[in-house]
Amino acid sequence: MGGGIIKILDLNNIGVRGVNSVLHNFSEEGEENFEIHNPHGKHSIACGLDAHLFVEIKGHVGFYCGGMNKSANITVNGHAGVGLAENMMSGKVRVIGNASESAGATAHGGLLVIEGNASSRCGISMKGVDIVVGGSVGHMSGFMGQSGNLVICGDAGNALGDSIYESKIFVRGEVAGLGADCIEKEMTSGLQAKLANLIETSGIKADPNEFRHYGSARKLYNFDIDNADYY
């Protein structure tokens, strides 16, 4: 939380457009604290924030919360719907509860922390974001991940890391199944240090020594007739 007073934005009074237009009205240097009340599962809350705002949402949010975030630090005190922090560029998004499918989809940067479970397709097509999930993730998580780190403190569902590029996936629990071209890889000391740092930054309690590292076998990068079955 930044310094200064906390301004309250009530969705019951000003609606999603009202809330987002207040939050958009700051330059990148701005630093303010906001609380958003009565989210009632509405979509697109706190999307496209450019400034260094601290935003706490008091309750459960709908789809696309924190989407396209740049610089803001957003906390959801509840459950988040589909497409949480999709296409985030930088900044932080934290969810205290569970998240629905496609959390962190296509996100380029920043840190997404889900304290509970994420559902299917967590980190789908991630492009540089760091995602830390305190619980488990559903099937097809890390699908086509290009860059960034997906840390799963619980279990992973089927087809983890399918068609993955250069994202790195770390799993503490069981993996139900790996997707095409995703393999277990060596946990180097450099990666171990990076993982420990990510876990510490996320604030989630987990021992970095208990994780396995998964990534791309790089067999799908170029067309190979022997891989035709994968396509």
CB 91 within 8 A of CB 75: no
> Which residue, 128 or 138, is less far from another protein as judged by CB?
138
- Residue owning tokens 């939380």: 1
Q: Which stretch binds another protein (CB under 8 A): 36-44, 68-76, 195-203, 217-225?
A: 36-44
Among 81, 128, 161, 215, binds another protein (CB under 8 A): 81
Q: In sequence order, which residues have a C-beta less than 8 Å from that of residue 191 and are 6 or more positions away?
A: 168, 213
Is residue 48 a contact residue for another protein (CB under 8 A)?
no
- E runs forming strands in the chain: 6-10, 33-37, 54-58, 73-76, 92-95, 111-114, 127-133, 147-152, 168-171, 182-185, 212-216
- Residue owning tokens 């393999």: 183
Tell me the number of residues near another protein by CB under 8 A.
23
Is residue 19 a contact residue for another protein (CB under 8 A)?
no
Is residue 101 a contact residue for another protein (CB under 8 A)?
yes
Other CB atoms within 10 A of residue 140 CB: 22
CB 150 within 8 A of CB 168: yes
Is residue 60 a contact residue for another protein (CB under 8 A)?
yes
Residues 198-227 that bind another protein (CB under 8 A): none
Among 40, 174, 218, 230, binds another protein (CB under 8 A): 40
Among 119, 141, 149, 202, binds another protein (CB under 8 A): 119
Among 52, 79, 92, 168, binds another protein (CB under 8 A): 79
Other CB atoms within 10 A of residue 230 CB: 13
Positions in the binding site for another protein (CB under 8 A): 39-43, 59-60, 62-63, 78-79, 81-82, 97-98, 100-101, 117, 119-120, 138-139, 157
